[in-house]
Amino acid sequence: MKFKIEGLTVYFPYEFIYPEQYQYMVELKRALDAKGHCLLEMPTGTGKTITLLSLITSYQLANPVGKLVYCTRTVHEMEKVLDELRRLHAYQEKEIGKEAAKILALGLSSRKNMCVHPEISGEGSRESVDAGCRKLTASWVRIAAVDNPNIKTCDFFENYEKKGADALLPPGVYTLHDMRSFGREKGWCPYFLARHMIQFANVVVYNYQYLLDPKVSGIISREMEKECIVVFDEAHNIDNVCIEALSVNIRQQTLEGATRNLGKISQVIEKFKATDANRLREEYNRLVEGLAQRGNLPVADNWLANPVLPDDILREAVPGNIRRAEHFVAFLKRLVQYIKGRLLTEVVESEGPLSFLNSLNKECSIDQKALKFCYDRLQSLLTTLEITDTDEFLYIQSICDFATLVGTYQRGFAIIIEPYDDRMPNIPDPVLQLSCLDASLAIRPVFERFQSVVITSGTLSPIDLYPRLLNFNPVIFKSFTMTLTRDCLCPMILTRGSDQLPVSTKFDMRSDPGVVRNYGRLLLEMVAAVPDGVVCFFVSYSYMDGIINSWNEMGILQEVMQHKLVFIETQDVVETTLALDNYRRACDCGRGAVFFSVARGKVAEGIDFDRHYGRLVIMYGIPFQYTLSRILRARLEYLRETFQIKEGDFLTFDAVRQAAQCVGRVIRSKADYGMMIFADKRYNRHDKRSKLPGWIQTHLRDAHLNLSTDMSLHIAREFLRKMAQPYDKKGQGTNATLLSQADLEKMEQMENMQA
């Protein structure tokens, strides 16, 4: 269908549109018009992706704006976005003709997902694929291969290079799979082709990292124009992603590995000195001129760029004391030695970057300026030394990463040294953590560089906290609810067991046998009343282990298994995948199954339990973060001082968004239905409940608060019977959940009349 929003013609590839999608488009368009950032919350299952794509591409057709940069969290989501876009594009072509609707849209991912080289692409990890690729495509390898045909190169890369600037993708929509098959067909390397084509593309879909992690964004996203529209989808955890991008952990083995790396580098330096001293001298001269040279290097040699904000120091010359290769190696050795010494501590130490720099300066006379350049200096050195197996040099790279971050930022970071893990105080496992406390540091360049940044997700509540956390001013922030033909959501807050005793995972209550038993009875009653799949989320792995053990001893687990099979998420990815697979099979064949999982775990973040795979989610307790963690303490303190966010507010916000994320797994579309039980008396309190997303709160009727097990069982039974009845999918009158083109035109006329 085709309709107008405030004068903009929007092409939408489906015959009907949900009212909230229309509202979403209106708000989004206003934000784009105002050339500002916006924050939009809309429940999952209402077609956010197609709404975004449809409006923004239509906007691109009508106005001269830059690319659409669409950031997703996983490769799977990326493929879904591109598939939707393909459908949209086909519709646009039909409506306005092939020429007018011409776009180029492509996905970009790591080499592991894009490589088509027969041997390299079979490698297991991302790092080994990267290193394998470099071994074949580094400039010096290729130069050597010209003289010596025995040296292997990558045919795909060679062919691509031969074509040079003529290697172009014809317009269209390309998923990763399409890129690979196109690459195979033409004999071009899809990874480098994609990177090259980004500058011509109208729509680019890639991972958050490519924009947020300064190491990566420096090379990939450098050439984006200011008019770009950036979208972060599923962005409820965006602050954590930002923080992770700027945090470094250094352990004992990191240091040992770094020492090994340095030894190897020294050897190579010696060798070069004997054979090719010129190279080192050339490098020295380059460094004198400053790091701006990086742009001159061939594409393939650009490993990872500077973790600092690019403009800050690029034009400065590298300090004299690390210009010479051997001096730099000695410098790093001192640094590693110093950190080693720090790790020997018996007590936990916590300090800011400034005091760390100070003591570093005093003890090893290493100054801040030199530290700042570590990362670039190392890259330059590794390039000069023609080292290709980069995966082996990860250790020294993370040390330099650390050095540069410490050297660059004086605020918003904390350095915490812990001699052992709190949970196992007898085993020494010292770790030095450089922890970023301020999520706005990583995302600030994005906000500054691009005209419109859209942050959207199904759960962004409370929506006013995000602008403060990320330190930006959205022109529009809004939360949409879902229109439904029937009440297919049934959230409940359970505060008591059948014996009327309160249940909670508060620390002083959680190991109480009464609470454990009441939780167990709840599960037991529910598995007997709910068909197919049931998912349970616990607050942590250790709590889950404990409670499952107790249930086993009480015989509850055996009774549960009479009704449904039990599957458990573990920290092992392979095991969990297998468990999930079998869980789905048990749901499919009618045996029924329960899945025990952990909030904040892999399953809670990325796996959907839609339709019969999840008719009920039980959230046991409130998934607060581990509050004794020193990093969290430091971050809370920082938030309080810098952004005036109260500790309790932030912790509750974080816990409730995780809980909402967990229970949101059950409902993925409007035709679906599911129940959610929040099993903790604390959810009944207003400060917790009010932080749940709007689309849950609207369905949380008074009758569903403060329930005991038997009451919720009654509600569950009735709900399931009601949902099993046939219903009218379209809805009628004020209840309408689908709008046709005619409806929209009518709405527009009404608005015009009012205006």
Partner 1 sequence: MGPEEDGTNPMDEDGDGDAEEQGRDMEAWEKAYAEDRSWEALTEDASGLLLAVDVTQQQRQHRRRFAASKGPRIQRGIIRYVFVVCDFSRAAAEADFKPSRMGAVANCVEAFVREFFDQNPLSHLGLITIRNGVARRLTDLSGSPEAHIRALRANLECSGDASIQNAIDLARGYLSSIPSYGHREVVILYSALSTCDPGDIMDSIAECKKANIRCSVVGLSAEIYICKTLCDKTGGVYSVAISESHLKELVLEHAPPPPAVAESAVASLVRMGFPQRGAEGTVALCACHREVKLGGGYTCPRCKARVCELPTECHICGLTLVSSPHLARSYHHLFPVPGFEEVSVQLQSMGKFDVLRLCYGCQQELPTAGSKAIAGVRLECPRCKQHFCFDCDVYIHESLHNCPGCESLVK
Q: Which of 145, 501, 568, 705 binds partner 1 (CB under 8 A)?
A: 705
Using the contact rule CB under 8 A, the part of the chain among 216-224, 350-358, 389-397, 522-530 near partner 1 is: 522-530
295 in contact with partner 1 (CB under 8 A): no
345 in contact with partner 1 (CB under 8 A): no
Closer residue to partner 1 (CB): 135 or 722: 722
724 in contact with partner 1 (CB under 8 A): yes
- Closest separation in Å from C-beta 634 to partner 1: 15
For residue 435, give both structure tokens. 């922890």
Q: What are phi and psi of 45, to 5 degrees?
A: 85, 5
275 in contact with partner 1 (CB under 8 A): no
529 in contact with partner 1 (CB under 8 A): yes
For residue 136, give both structure tokens. 């074949």
Closer residue to partner 1 (CB): 342 or 681: 681
Using the contact rule CB under 8 A, the part of the chain among 87-95, 277-285, 352-360, 642-650 near partner 1 is: 642-650
**Residue span 370-409 as binding mask against partner 1, x where in contact by CB under 8 A, dash where not:** ----------------------------------------
- Closest separation in Å from C-beta 550 to partner 1: 15
CA distances from 75 to 78, 81, 99, 225, 572 (A): 5, 10, 30, 25, 21
348 in contact with partner 1 (CB under 8 A): no
* Cβ proximity of 503 and 494 under 8 Å: yes
Distance of CA 317 to the CA centre of its chain: 35
**Buried residues in 391-416 as b, exposed as e (16+ CB within 10 A):** bebbbbbbbbbbbbbbbbbeebbbbb
124 in contact with partner 1 (CB under 8 A): no
223 in contact with partner 1 (CB under 8 A): no
Q: What are phi and psi of 530, to 5 degrees?
A: -110, 130
112 in contact with partner 1 (CB under 8 A): no
487 in contact with partner 1 (CB under 8 A): no
Sequence-separated contacts (24+) of 701-705 with Cβ below 8 Å: 704/490, 704/491, 704/492, 704/493, 705/493
- The whole-angstrom separation of Cα 695 and Cα 458 is 9
Per DSSP, the three-state class of 223 is coil
Using the contact rule CB under 8 A, the part of the chain among 395-403, 567-575, 588-596, 728-736 near partner 1 is: 588-596
Q: Which of 14, 140, 543, 727 binds partner 1 (CB under 8 A)?
A: 543
506 in contact with partner 1 (CB under 8 A): yes
At position 537, the amino acid (one-letter code) is: F
Terminal-to-terminal C-alpha distance of the chain = 25
Q: Which of 611, 657, 665, 670 binds partner 1 (CB under 8 A)?
A: 611
505 in contact with partner 1 (CB under 8 A): yes
* Cβ proximity of 62 and 198 under 8 Å: no
**Residue span 648-667 as binding mask against partner 1, x where in contact by CB under 8 A, dash where not:** xx-xx---------------
531 in contact with partner 1 (CB under 8 A): yes
Q: Output the DSSP codes for 599-663.
A: TTSHHHHH----GGG-SEEEEES-----TT-HHHHHHHHHHHHHH---HHHHHHHHHHHHHHHHH
Using the contact rule CB under 8 A, the part of the chain among 346-354, 460-468, 537-545, 550-558 near partner 1 is: 537-545
Binding residues among 164-203 for partner 1 as defined by CB under 8 A: none
Q: What are phi and psi of 105, to 5 degrees?
A: -130, 135
Helices (H) and strands (E) in the chain, counts: 32, 21
What is the binding site for partner 1 (CB under 8 A)? 422-423, 495-496, 502, 505-508, 528-532, 539-540, 542-543, 562-564, 587-592, 611-612, 615, 622, 624, 626-628, 646-649, 651-652, 681-682, 684-685, 687-688, 701-706, 711, 714-715, 717, 720-726
